[in-house]
Amino acid sequence: MPKVEQDLSIGQVAERTGLSVHTLRFYEREGVLANPVSRGPGRRRLYSEDDVEWLRLCVILRTSGMPLPEIRRYTDLVRQGSGTEGERLALLRRHREQVLAQMDRLTRCLDLITFKVGVYEDHLEHGPAKQGCDASSLPERQEQDQHGVSPL
């Protein structure tokens, strides 16, 4: 059975993608849509399912930290078609490396936060009476002594 194309309103696309109507218009002005948005009666924007899928990709790229100019560059390469696959691959590989580095930084941050949560849970569970009341019994002081990190 052939696929039936259904035109979607900007409101429907906003609902499906999680983007606001304002953001959809902004993305259109910034040239990050792979295809020009068609217009219906009264010059209302009409989107296709392909537009929705492209916008979902754009959301993932933005959420992962890709700057809008890079998304626009990727979009331009896709529009140019065959022969740009190598450039597209290079762009996505660079971004993947940036995401991996960001994940590594976040993992290290999470490790420290998890440690601090444990220190405070232990402190509250055992109370200062068992550990003594001097400054060395405070969770920040213990953490600094054990890990050499600032108590901030």
Q: Does residue 133 have a pLDDT over 80?
A: no
- The 3 state secondary structure assigned to 86-148 is HHHHHHHHHHHHHHHHHHHHHHHHHHHHHHHHHHHHHHHHHHHHHHCCCHHHCHHHHHHHHHC
pLDDT at position 92, please?
Answer: 98
Average pLDDT over residues 17-45: 93
pLDDT, one tens digit per residue, over 99-123 is 999 999 999 999 999 999 999 999 9
Residue with tokens 């220190």: 119
Q: Does residue 151 have a pLDDT over 90?
A: no
Amino acid at 96: R
Average pLDDT over residues 70-89: 97
The model's pTM is: 0.73
pLDDT at position 140, please?
Answer: 55
Q: Is 50 helix (H, G, I), strand (E, B) or coil?
A: helix
DSSP, res 38: E
CATH for 1-65 is: 1.10.1660.10
Q: Where are the domains of the chain?
A: 1-65
pLDDT at position 75, please?
Answer: 97
Q: Please choose, from the candidates 13, 80, 3, the residue with its C-alpha nearest in 3D space to the C-alpha of residue 48.
A: 13
